[in-house]
């Protein structure tokens, strides 16, 4: 019997996502962050993948976690919130990781205010999923697992 390698992904949530379920439910829905995490963790476990789910309202903390967990993980799902549109530092951290990253958004950022149409991090990610509410996370997870060759058919 051979041991299979431990597989893990980092699920990062940026600013204000701790308020999901309360904040602007007409845009972001009524599903809480804990509920999203539970759904992603359950789906990932079915493919033998551990999820490390973290949220911060601080840009530097998100970067610290990318650097801290980078060597241990296979990839990242990230909803950087407003930092999507402003953070060169977060982009540089993702770029330096050399692991696949998928950008996630609950709302369709391209159908909202013009300042949300540009993502600083999209060019250094393998993909972007936006506009499907909490399901965006599961679609992104399936994309990442497929990219890693870990998705069970």
* Cβ 117 vs Cβ 109: under 8 Å: yes
In sequence order, which residues have a C-beta less than 8 Å from that of residue 90 and are 6 or more positions away?
A: 59, 62, 63, 66, 80, 83, 120, 121
Which one of the listed residues 28, 69, 83, 137 is annotated catalytic?
A: 28
Residue whose token pair is 């369709």: 108
Any catalytic annotation for residue 28? yes
Which one of the listed residues 13, 69, 83, 105 is annotated catalytic?
A: 105
Any catalytic annotation for residue 58? no
Nearest Cα to Cα of residue 73 among 151, 153, 126, 145: 145
- Report in angstroms the alpha-carbon separations of 113 from 108, 121, 153: 10, 18, 38
* Cβ 143 vs Cβ 71: under 8 Å: no
* Residues noted as catalytic: 28, 105
């Amino acid at each position: 019997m051979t041991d299979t390698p431990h597989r893990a992904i980092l699920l990062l949530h940026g600013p204000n996502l701790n308020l999901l379920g309360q904040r602007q439910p007409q845009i972001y829905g009524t599903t809480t962050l804990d509920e999203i995490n539970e759904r992603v963790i359950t789906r990932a476990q079915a493919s033998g993948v551990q999820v490390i789910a973290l949220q911060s309202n601080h840009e530097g903390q998100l970067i610290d976690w990318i650097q801290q967990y980078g060597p241990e993980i296979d990839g990242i799902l990230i909803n950087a919130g407003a930092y999507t549109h402003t953070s060169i530092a977060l982009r540089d951290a993702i770029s330096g990781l050399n692991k696949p990253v998928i950008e996630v958004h609950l709302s369709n950022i391209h159908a909202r205010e013009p300042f949300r149409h540009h993502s600083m991090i999209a060019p250094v990610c393998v993909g972007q999923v936006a506009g499907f509410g909490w399901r965006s996370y599961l679609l992104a997870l399936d994309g990442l697992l497929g990219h890693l060759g870990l998705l069970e058919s």
